[in-house]
Amino acid sequence: MDMISERFARAPGQVPRATVACYAAAVLTAAVAIANGLFHGNGRSVALGLLIGAVGAVAWTALGTGLALLAQIADRG
């Protein structure tokens, strides 16, 4: 008996909720990092905020895409 599919039911072909949460976290991470850099106001903090925002957003997006691909593989079998 597969307990995971019973507890986290989703229609085949539907994107998992964790993927959507990862994409939302990517936007939130970028917004917070950039806002923090702009709040401090000097050039170095703005550049660091942009860099951290970009890296964080890419990391969350990669994680969400990986989860979506794993779900797509699970739907095949």
pLDDT tens by residue, 33-51: 999 999 988 999 999 999 9
Q: How many domains does the chain have?
A: 1
- Give the whole-angstrom CA distance, residue 54 versus residue 49: 8
In a domain, 60, yes or no: yes
pLDDT at site 16: 87
Instruction: Note the pLDDT tens digit of each residue in 57-73.
Output: 999 999 999 999 988 88
In a domain, 52, yes or no: yes
Q: Which domain holds residue 53?
A: 34-77
Instruction: Note the pLDDT tens digit of each residue in 2-18.
Output: 666 666 677 777 888 89
Instruction: Specify the 3-state DSSP secondary structure of 3.
Output: helix
In the chain, helix, strand, coil percent, each to 5? 80, 0, 20
Structure tokens at 70: 């794993």
